[in-house]
Amino acid sequence: MYKAVVFDFDGLIFDTESVHTTIYQEMFDLYNLEFPFKEWIQNIGTKSNFTIYDLLEKEIEQIDRAQLKKINKEKLETRLNTLKVRPGVENYLKEAQAMNLKIGLASSSDYKWVSNHLNRLGLIHYFECIMTSNDVVEVKPNPELYLLAANELGVEPESCIAFEDSANGSLAAKRAGLTCVIVPNDTTKHLTFPEVDYRLSSMTDCALSDLLGKLTYQKS
C-alpha cells in the first residue's frame, strides 16, 4: 500500500529544463554552431563539473563566459517569470492530500532555487518535506535524496512513489527502492530511461487514484 508521493522539481513540476535548453541552443546559434543536444541532455537531473560553456569551448577556442552567462541569466529570469506549472501537477498534489498521502520533494537543485519558485507558483504548502542538494553529499543519480525524503516523511521507500522526468532522477528513485513513474518533458522525452514502473506523457493522462490502482495491481 502506498503511503507517500515524492516529486522531483526541475522539469517535472516546473519545466526549467526545456527553457535552459532553448537558451543554450540560441547561444550556439550565435556562433553558427550545432547545439550538442544529445550530449547536453545526459546531464539533466544531476550536477556535474561539465558545463554547456565547456562544450562551446570545444568548438571555439576563446569565449567571454561572463558575458554569455549574464545574457543567459537575463533570458532565464524573463522566461521563467511567465512559465506555468506543468499540466496536471497541482491536481495530483490536491488528490494526494485528499487521499492522506504524505507529500515530499527531492531535487538536485538547491533549496533557495526550489523554494523561491514553489512560493511564487503557490505550491510550497503541499510539501511536508523538501530535500535538496543542500541536504546531501551527492545528488541524483545517487539514491540519497530519495532515501532522505522517505525518512523525513516517516515511511519506508517501498511505500513511496517517485515522480521523475529525467534518467538520472529515475535511476536515483529506483536505487532507493521507490516505485518510479516518469513524466518526461519536451526535452527529456528524448532520453533513454532505466527500468521504471510506469510512464505518462502528462499527469493529465489519468487521475492519481487511477494510477495508484494500476501500480498496486502490477505489484500484486
Catalytic residue status for 8: yes
Task: Retrieve residue 29's grid coordinates.
Answer: 546559434
84's torsion region: left (phi>0), alpha (psi -120 to 50) or beta? beta
Cβ-count burial of 9 within 10 angstroms (0-12 exposed, 13-18 middle, 19+ buried)?
A: buried
Q: Are 127 and 105 spatial neighbours (Cβ–Cβ below 8 Å)?
A: yes
Q: Compute the residue count for the chain.
A: 220
Which three cell numbers mark 120? 511564487
- The DSSP string of 178-207 is -EEEE---TTGGGSPP-S-SEE-S-TTSS-
SS3 category, 210: helix
Q: Which of 10, 135, 165, 197 is catalytic?
A: 10
Residue in 8, 15, 135, 165 annotated catalytic: 8
> Is 10 known to be catalytic?
yes
d(CA 58, CA 54): 7
| Active site amino acids | 8, 10
